[in-house]
Amino acid sequence: MKLLPRHKNFYLMLFADVCFSVLSLYAAYALRFEMAIPPQHRNAMLQALPFVLFTKLSILALFSAYHGMWRYTNLADVINIARAILLSTAVIMTALLLVSGFEGYPRSVFLIDGLLSFLFIGGLRTSIRVTLSENLRQSLFPDLLNLFCPDRKKIVLIRLGSCLIDIFLVTLAFYASYLLRFEFQIPAAQFMTFLNTLPLVVSMKIAIFVFFRIYQGLWRYTGVEDLLKIGKASIVSSLGVVLVILLLYRFQGYPRSVFMLDWGITLLLVAGARVGTRLYCSQREKKFRNTSFSHRSASTRTRLLIIGAGNTGEKVVREILENPSLRFDPIGFLDDNTEKLEMSIHGVKVLDRLEQIKNFHSLFDQILIAIPSATAAQVRRIVALCEASGKPFRIVPSLGELINGTLSVKASREVTIQDLLGREEVRLDKEAIFATLQGKRILVTGAGGSIGSELVRQITRFSPEAIALVDMNEFHLFRIQMECTQRFPSLNTIGFLRDIRDPETLRQVFSSFHPQIIFHAAAYKHVPMQECQPWEAVKNNVVGTSNLLQLAQEYAVKKFVLVSTDKAVRPTNVMGATKRIAEQLVIGANNHADSRFIVVRFGNVLGSSGSVIPLFQEQIARGGPLTVTHPEITRYFMSIPEAAQLILQAAAMGVGGEIFLLDMGNPVKIVDLAQDLIRLHGYEPGTDIDIRFTGLRPGEKLHEELITQGEGIVETQHEKIMVLRGNGSNMNKLHDQITSLLEVSRTFDSSKIKQKLQDIVPEYRPEFHEYSGQQEWRKSFYSSTPMWELPHYGVRQGNARIGVPMQEQTKEKVEV
């Protein structure tokens, strides 16, 4: 490693150390001569200054003090600086002894200079680390300071032992201050002053140490936070001693410099004892672990290349270094920030920019992407570079995924399509959500589904009084109820196996539970299946919602939130039309004085049951091809946790009668999604796995919309939530139309049902296909497309395949 790195921050570091070295030498002379340096000693100081500076800075460079990043300074860096300062002080004093025999140079000055140099240079780095740390306890060291022995007597004995050691160290520091001040020859009068003042100094410092909770930490886990506490306690206690002596004796007979020296030496001894204990325990544990793992050869350790030399990368390296059982060897970082090049974090060097990954191919076995805040474009670029390297790669989860845990190398996972789509973390107004949900009885319909179950998980974080889970699927209901019971055993979680289409069973839920807030996530959502059986969509999405609304008004529910879809905007399918009617019902119900009714509308969620991503993954597992309905088809996507969090945020913001629209970002081409998934599985689109275009399915749009005619967007205080305000519906007329729709749905005539839906939702433009009865539905259901590809069943309108000439594609037979 080069002694002088080339990064531009090196010059700033060097300038800071020069300034502090000059300041420490001048302060040492000032303390030695009671703030009045004689002219001959001032000249001697100026003559020695160049040599002192050169020696200190050279040895600091030799100890790699300029390779580390100050914002990631840790205990090892502070110890490294202490070693460098100690060695430089020894070199300076030896040189002066050989050259001049210390003639004209007080020996104590250079001891004081070494002490002050360490406090200034090490303190600067530690201060920058603390200033830039968002959460010192979590980002520097594990939260081990609050570990206590179960036996109270043992706790008392440990703390008493620590206190007795500190009494000895404080006494030693005060005595050393007198020795340094008087050149190791303390006059008899000053020695008596020392003895008379010692009880005050010791009692004052120990009392302040207790006040700052110095004795609650375990020495073997001493960290930078503990050193900061000791530093603060030393300053406060020294100022307290000075203040008492000033008030009682006006400093008559007391050398002022003694108390400055005492502060620095006390800090050095008290902190040094704890750091020494930590080093001893750390070395002993490391030796034990190395012995324990000695049966494993070094070749079993994985050489790890880390992409991203930021906060997350620093945490990863620190965990690896502190936990040898992880069996990783971090060989370096790659980062596009040129200011970090040739610097190091915990001794691990920033090698180069990301594009140069090929130059280090032989040095690593695995790649870890440690940039959880990366955008979709950045992740795509990084993944492409990692794929080109031919080595396996993983990614550190986002903070949202780790919201209930802590960052860990073991938590890293494979790169997923969610990473490539790149949704930003949601900013929540937790106080508003707490005010809405805390202490409330909350009912969630469709609680076993993708959105419903995530809603339940998010709601449990905000301390509701009780939560009722309503679902008609026994297995899914059991699974989410068991999850809640295990994670939150004190929360009253009740599962109701109910069908929202049955008003009597729903009434029993309301009469026994008395919900105050309802999140209505139960709905049929598969577009092609509802095109075949529109009567089921009417009963579930329309009648089920109507049943819930009537009971909500009857039982004076405070807030009702409907989870809707972008398919309700200018719908072209039965699912969208029925959800649009549900929206109208909810907004129309807001006239009820005691309740607030709200709609939250958004697009597709990543990875939900029956969605395109799980389907693509199944098709890849079978070797392809991947079926896409159209080369230009696009969809909006967001993650399931993001959708659930924004639903809660909208619920907290809503005052009633709004349709909240969640920011879905930019639409994604499904064919691009398919290609990305193929590459993530290690294949090449068109070569290893084909993509076949099957044609748009009945009722399917080429591009989804988020706003319907007559609605205007109004921004809210949340950057990811907008509110739509449109024209209200004539509720009497709407209820009559729904009654008529329900009568028609009993005929099982798809064409008539769709026509009736169009009467209620004029913007609905159905595509009429021959699905007017159960016989036609069965014909479509048992068509050539396999049953496990249900989202893609139906009449194929065409075939196309990536990498196959169009002339060959037209020759292929299309089965119906």
**pLDDT tens-digit readout, 724-781:** 765 566 778 888 898 899 899 898 988 899 889 988 988 887 754 443 333 333 333 3
Helix axes 188-211, 256-292, angle to 10 degrees: 50
Structural domain count of the chain: 4
Could you tell me if 109 and 176 lie in one domain? no
Nearest to 410 by CA among 326, 327, 298: 326
Rounded to whole angstroms, how far apart are CA atoms 217 and 169?
Answer: 18
Can you read off the two tokens belonging to residue 87?
């060695």
Q: Judge whether residue 399 has pLDDT over 60.
A: no
pLDDT band for 440, please (50, 70, 90 cuts): very high
**pLDDT of residue 340 exceeding 60:** yes
Three state DSSP letters for 51-99: HHHHHHHHHHHHCCCCCECHHHCCHHHHHHHHHHHHHHHHHHHHHHHHH
Give the separation between CA 228 and CA 215, rounded to whole angstroms.
Answer: 14
Integer Cα distance of 168 and 163 in angstroms? 9
Q: How high is the pLDDT of residue 607?
A: 61
Task: Judge if 125 and 162 occupy the same domain.
Answer: no
User: Does one domain contain both 276 and 365?
Assistant: no
462 and 397 in a common domain: no
Same domain, 526 and 570: yes
Q: What pLDDT does residue 430 have?
A: 83
CA 440 – CA 436 distance, rounded (Å) = 8
Do both 162 and 126 map to the same domain? Answer: no
Residues with Cβ within 8 Å of residue 364, at least 6 apart in sequence: 303, 304, 305, 331, 332, 391
Domain finish residue from 373, 391, 415:
415
CA distances (Å), 60 to each of 18, 63, 78, 637, in order?
11, 5, 12, 53
Last residue of a domain, one of 95, 113, 132: 132
Last residue of a domain, one of 254, 269, 292: 292
Residues 652 and 780 both lie in one domain: yes
Look up residue 779 and give its two tokens.
Answer: 């014909």
- Residues 56 and 85 sit within 8 Å (Cβ to Cβ): yes
Residue 794 CB-density burial (10 A; 0-12 exposed, 13-18 middle, 19+ buried): buried
Tell me the CA distances in angstroms from 748 to 499, 534, 571, 740, 773, one per residue in order. 20, 8, 21, 14, 6
Give the model's pLDDT for residue 527. Answer: 83
Q: What confidence score (pLDDT) does residue 33 get? A: 80
> Is there a contact between 606 and 640 (Cβ–Cβ < 8 Å)?
yes
**Confidence category of residue 391, pLDDT binned at 50, 70, 90:** confident
Give yes or no for residue 464 having a pLDDT over 90. Answer: yes
Position 593, amino acid = A
In a domain, 450, yes or no: yes
Same domain, 380 and 454: no
What does the pLDDT read at residue 812?
Answer: 34
Q: Which range, of 374-378, 450-454, 748-752, averages the lowest pLDDT?
A: 374-378
pLDDT in the model for residue 512 = 94
| 415 vs 26 pLDDT, higher one | 26
Instruction: Determine the pLDDT at residue 634.
Output: 83
On whether residue 424 sits in a domain, the answer given is no
| C-alpha to C-alpha distance for 453 and 562, rounded to whole angstroms | 15
pLDDT band for position 782 (50/70/90)? very low
- Of residues 347 and 170, the one with the higher pLDDT is 170
The token duo for 243 is: 């203040």
**pLDDT per residue as tens digits for the range 209-268:** 888 888 877 787 777 778 888 888 889 888 988 888 887 777 777 888 888 888 889 988
115 and 263 in a single domain? The answer is no
* Exposure class string for 747-765: b at 16+ Cβ within 10 A, else e: ebbbeebbebbeebbebbe
Which comes out higher in pLDDT, residue 452 or 124? 452
Distances (CA, A) of 706 to 574, 657, 663: 17, 18, 9
The C-alpha atoms of residue 123 and residue 231 are separated, in whole angstroms, by 10
- For 248, 279, 581, 652, 812, the CA distances from 544, given in Å and listed in that order, are 84, 66, 12, 24, 45
Residue 553 is part of a domain; what is its CATH number?
A: 3.40.50.720
Domain with 66, as residue range(s), is: 1-132
Is the distance from CB of 364 to CB of 391 less than 8 angstroms? yes
Same domain, 553 and 587: yes
For tokens 């909208």, what's the residue?
Answer: 650
Question: Taking the C-alpha atoms of 91, 93, 94 and 98 in order, what is their torsion angle to the nearest 10 degrees?
Answer: 140
Torsional sign, CA 115, 117, 118, 123: positive
Q: Classify residue 501: in a domain, yes or no.
A: yes
Q: Is residue 147 part of a domain?
A: yes
What is the model's pLDDT at position 192? 83
Q: Is residue 721 part of a domain?
A: yes
Strands, sheet with 559-565, edge to edge from the N-terminal-most edge strand: 492-497, 466-471, 441-445, 517-520, 559-565, 596-602, 659-662, 721-725, 712-715
Residue 8 lies in a domain: yes
Separation CA 655–CA 130 (nearest Å) = 43
Q: What is the mean pLDDT of the chain?
A: 78
3-state SS class at 637: strand
If you average pLDDT over each of 74-88, 544-558, 613-627, 766-780, which comes out highest? 544-558
Residues 687 and 565 in one domain: yes
- Does residue 174 form part of some domain? yes
pLDDT for the residue 788? 33
Tally of CB atoms within 10 A around 162: 20
pLDDT tens column, 574-629: 998 999 999 999 988 887 667 899 999 887 777 666 667 778 888 888 888 889 98
Q: Is 414 exposed, middle or buried (0-12, 13-18, 19+ CB in 10 A)?
A: exposed
Task: Name which of 35-49, 679-693, 765-779 the model is least confident about.
Answer: 765-779
* DSSP calls for 549-575: HHHHHHTT-SEEEEEEEGGGSS--SHH
421 occurs within a structural domain: no
CA distances to 73, 124, 140, 404, 509 from 136, rounded to whole Å, are: 12, 16, 6, 18, 48
Please tell me the predicted confidence (pLDDT) of residue 545.
94
> Tokens in use for 329?
């060897």
Q: Is the pLDDT assigned to residue 525 strictly greater than 60? A: yes
What is the average pLDDT across 150-161? Answer: 63
Q: Which residues are catalytic?
A: 567
- pLDDT the model gives residue 713: 66
Query: pLDDT tier at 149 (50, 70, 90 boundaries)?
Result: very low
Same domain, 213 and 126: no
